[in-house]
Amino acid sequence: MSAEYNIITMQVALPPDAAGFIGFECPQCRRYFKIVDATHNGSHTLRCAYCGHSDDSETSLTAAEVDYLKQVHFGEATAQLQGQFEDDMVNTFRNSENVTVTREHHLPPSPPPRPMERDLPNQNTCGSCGLVYAVESDAKICPQCAAPAK
Ligand SMILES: [Zn+2]
Ligand SMILES: [Zn+2]
């Protein structure tokens, strides 16, 4: 994972989609599953529902989610720079009689729409930990506690 990617994920938390899901793509087998964020215990380690690979949840985000985080991060960084530039201008011309600089108020950037997660055929509720997750039909384990999938 690149350093740039890590900086972005530290500063912006990924919200779930409109249905409450956060999707993951296993870095090992590249397969896709998604979990209901509200039923997740907050652990940063997730297991792949298919191959059992255990990894930090942030390294298992999908390309669509990483794109989304980059957009959010870019919007925030731009607004911050713009604010700093205007502060500088106001300070520079504060005592000038000929130039009046007013500071505009910028609304915080509205985040781009969060992409919806992809549809999956099966939705399971884990009997051990209560995690609700959606997977392909050949999933083997719960991504949170590794209990066998039904
Ligand atoms: Zn996997
Ligand atoms: Zn479980």
Going from the Cα of 5 to the center of ligand 2, the distance in angstroms, rounded, reads 28
Q: For the chain, give the percent of residues with pLDDT over 70.
A: 88
Q: pTM for the complete prediction?
A: 0.76
pLDDT value, residue 12 = 58
Any idea how long the chain is?
150
18-22, 105-109, 111-115, 136-140: segment of lowest average pLDDT: 105-109
Mean pLDDT of the chain: 86
Handedness of CA 49, 51, 55, 60 (dihedral sign): negative
Total H helices, total E strands in the chain = 2, 6
Residues 6+ apart with CB under 8 A from 36: 16, 20, 21, 131, 132, 133
Going from the Cα of 49 to the center of ligand 1, the distance in angstroms, rounded, reads 7
Ligand closest to 139 (CA) is 1
Ligand closest to 143 (CA) is 2
Ligand closest to 28 (CA) is 1
What residue spans define the domains of the chain? 3-135
Mean pLDDT across 14-33:
95
Ramachandran quadrant class, 36 (left: phi over 0; alpha: psi -120 to 50; beta: rest)? beta
